[in-house]
Chain A
Amino acid sequence: MSRTWSRPVVALLGLSLAAVLVVLASIRFGAVSLTTSEVFSILRGGGGATDRFIVLSLRLPRAALAILVGGGLALSGAVFQALLRNPLAEPYILGISGGAAFGAVVVLATGWMSVSSVALPIAAIMGAAIAILLVFGVAFSADRRMDVRVLLLAGVVVGAFFSACIALILSLADAPTVRSAVLWMMGSLSGASWRGVAVVATYTIPVALLLLTLARPLNLLAIGEETAAYLGTDVERAKRLAYGAASVIAAAGVAFAGVIGFVGLIIPHGIRLILGADHRFLLPLSFIAGAGFLALADLLARTVVAPAEIPVGVITAFVGVPFFLLLLRRSLGS
C-alpha cells in the first residue's frame, strides 16, 4: 500500500514545488529588470504605475495562461494517448490545430481582427470545433460505435485538409499577414490578458476536473476495450466524454496561445516513464508538470534574446526533446 502511493506522492509534491518556483521566477524575471524586493512590493500593492503594469498586467496573466495552457495540453495529450492506444497521439491529433489555425488565419487575412480583439480566439475555437465535429462525424458513421482507428485517420486527414486551406490563403496574403500567421502557428503567450485567462480558465478547469474523474475507465481502456467492457465500464460513454473533454481543453488553449507543440507529447510520456501508466497519478501529474514546463519555456522565450521574443513552441521543442531523449534512453537501459 504505502509502496504504491509513496512514489507518486513524492513526485506530486516535487513537481508542484518546481512548478511554483518556475511561476515565481516568471513573475520575477522579464525583459525589464526589476529587483526581487521591487516585485514583492508591487505584489503587496506598492511600486510605480509602470512597474505595476509590467508585473500585474503583463507577467502575471502570462504566467497564469502558461499554467492553464501547458497543464491543459499535457493532460489532453495523456488522455489521447490512452484512448487511441498510440504513443504518437497528442492534443492536436484530431485536426484541432489545423482547424484552429484555419480560423485564425481567416481572421488575420480578412482584417476582421480590427472588428474585435476576441475575433481571433473565437474564430480559432470555431475552426477547432468544425474539425472536431468533422472527425467525430466520420468516426461515428460506421456503426454507432467509435472506432479508434477511424478516428485517428480522420483526424490526420482533416488536419491535412485545413493545412492546405491555410497554405492557399497565405499564398494570396500580404507579407505582414503571412508573418503574423506563421508566428501564431508557432505559438506565443505574448497576447496574454486577464480576460483571455478568464476564458481559458472557464473551459479548462471544469473540464480538467471531469477528466480526472475518468482515470479508472481510462486505466481499463488502455488495456483494451473488450477488457474494459467485461470489467463493467460503459466504454462508449467514457470514450465520448474523454474525447470531447480533451478536445475542448486543446481548443481553448490553441485559441489563446496558438499551436504549442511537444508539451502534450513529451510531458505525459515523461511522467509515464518515471511513474508508470496509472492514470490516477498520470493525469494530475501531467497537468502540474505541463503547467510548470510551459511557464519555464515561456520564461526562456521572453528572456533569452530579450527584448526580442522567441516563439514558445521553439523553446518547448529545444528544451523538451533532449530531455525526453535522455529519459527514453535511461528507461530503456534499466
Chain B
Amino acid sequence: MIPDRTEEQRRGAGEVSCDSPQRGFTRTSADERARTNTRRAPRGLFHYRAGRRVALLLSVLATVATGCSERPDGDAGNDAEGGGDRVSIPVRVEDDAGRVSSFADSPGRIVSLVPSATGVLLALGQMERIVGRTDFDRAPELQDLPSVGGGLNPSIEQLVSLEPDLVVRFRAESDPDTPRQLDAAGISHVAIRPDRIADIHRIIGMLGTIVGQPERADSIRQSIDRGLREVSEAVAGAPRPSVVFLGGNPPSVAGAGTFLHELIGIAGGENAFADGENLYALVSLEEILDRDVEFILTTEPVGLPEALEGIPTARVPLEMLNPGLEVVESARTLAEIFHPDRFP
C-alpha cells in the first residue's frame, strides 16, 4: 500500500482506487511539465505480448471502469446529480486562459466544444451531464445529443438554448466572440488549450476537480503516465532514428513546440527538426534531404514530393496531431513504426 492511497481514501469518502499510483501527483503544472520531460529518458528493456497495442488505449478507460466497480457503495449513479460530495465546495479552478472560475455547485449540465475534453468527461463517467456536442465529436454515445456546430465557431444561439451550467471551450485568442457572448448570457465557461502532453494532464485534473471526481482524474493521469513509460521503456537503448513529420501541401515540418515532437521522443525517435521554432514551419526539400531523415510521418493520403521517395514513410491518423486520451496509443503506434523488433 502506498502512502498516497490512504490519503486518497481519507479525502475520497471511502472510495477505493483500483489503480496503484507509482508516484504521487501534485497539481502544479510546472511539476507536470517536468515529469513529462523526464519520461523521455530510456528506462531499460521491457517486453510486450503481441496484440497489446489495442489494450493500451483501452487500459486508460479500463482503469476508470474498474475504479467504478470497486466502489463499495456503488455511488456511480450519483455522478450526474451530486458527485460534489468528494471535494470541498466551492471549487475554484484556473483555466488555460488564466481565468479563475469558482463553482458553488458542481455543474449539472455541461457542453464541451473541444472533442478531446469531451473524451475526458466521458472517461470521468460524466455522460449524464453532457447535454450537447459539436459536429466533430465521434463518440457513438454522443450522437443523439443536439449539436452546436463547430467547436471554434459554434452557434451561440443553439449553445445558449441548451442552458448549460458550464461550457468547456477551446482557448483561441482569435475567437473573442464565444467567451463574450457566454459572459453576456451568464454561462460559466473554462478555456482549455490542449497543445502538449502536459496540457492534457492538466485538463484531466481540472475537469476532474470541476465534476467532483479528482481521484478518477488522478487514476486516468496515472494510467497515461504508466502507458507512456511502458512505451519509452520498450524502446529504450535502441538506436533512435531521425524522423520528420511532414504535413500539408506545401509540406511543413513539426517543430519542437508540437505534440508530435513529444510523441516522437517517447516512441524512441529523434525529431529531425527539433530546432524549429515555429510549431509547423515550411522548409525546403533540400533541407529535409540534407538532414538524412530515416522515417517520414505524414497525414497526407497521397503523394509526397518525388525527391523524398525511397525514405520509409508512415501515414498516421490526423488525430495524432492533437493530444487527447489516445496519447498512449499514438505513442505506441509510432514506437512500433520506429522499432518493430521491440514489439514482436
Contact = CB atoms under 8 A, between A and B. Distances in A.
B176 A120 contact: yes
B180 A108 contact: no
Given A32-B158, A57-B184, A111 B152 contact: no
A176 B170 contact: yes
Contacts of A193: 180-181, 184
Contact of A308 (B155, B156, B161, B181): B155
A31 B185 contact: no
Interface stretch (B42-50, B143-151, B205-213): B143-151
Nearest to B132: A307
Contacts of B280: 174-175
Nearest to A53: B185
Contacts of A25: none
Q: Mostly helix, strand, loop or mixed at chain A's interface?
A: helix
Contacts of A171: 282
B155 A54 contact: no
B292 to A, nearest CB: 27
Given A57-B185, A193-B180, A308 B135 contact: yes
Contact of A176 (B149, B155, B157, B174): B174
B67 interface: no
A302 interface: yes
Contacts of A117: 176, 180
Contacts of A47: none
Contacts of A57: 181, 184-185
Nearest to B277: A172
Given A31-B158, A306-B155, A307-B148, A113 B278 contact: no
A117 B146 CA distance: 29
Contacts of A213: none
Contact of B174 (A32, A58, A113, A308): A113
A46 interface: no
A307 B149 contact: yes
A174 B170 CA distance: 14
B278 A172 contact: yes
Interface in A273-324: 302, 306-309
Contacts of A109: 174
Interface in B142-178: 146-150, 152-158, 160-161, 163, 170, 172-177
A177 B279 CA distance: 12
Contact of B172 (A32, A112, A180): A180
A191 B182 CA distance: 12
Contacts of A175: 279-280
A153 B15 CA distance: 74
A30 B156 CA distance: 11
A58 B184 CA distance: 10
Interface string A47-62: 0001101100111000
Given A117-B180, A193-B184, A308-B149, A108 B158 contact: no
Counting chain A CB atoms within 10 Å of each CB, the highest count among B154, B158, B180, B278 belongs to: B158
B205 to A, nearest CB: 23
Interface in A41-93: 50-51, 53-54, 57-59
Contacts of B152: 176, 179-180
B97 interface: yes
A177 B152 CA distance: 11
Contact of A59 (B97, B157, B173, B174): B157
Given A32-B158, A119-B176, A175-B280, 4 more contacts: A112-B173, A120-B176, A177-B174, A306-B149
Interface of A: 30-32, 50-51, 53-54, 57-59, 108-109, 111-114, 117, 119-120, 171-172, 174-177, 179-181, 183, 188, 190-191, 193, 302, 306-309
3 nearest A-B pairs in the assembled complex, by CB-CB distance: A180-B174, A308-B149, A307-B155
18 contacts: A32-B158, A32-B161, A50-B161, A53-B184, A54-B161, A58-B156, A58-B181, A113-B175, A114-B173, A117-B180, A177-B172, A179-B152, A188-B153, A191-B177, A307-B146, A307-B148, A307-B155, A308-B153
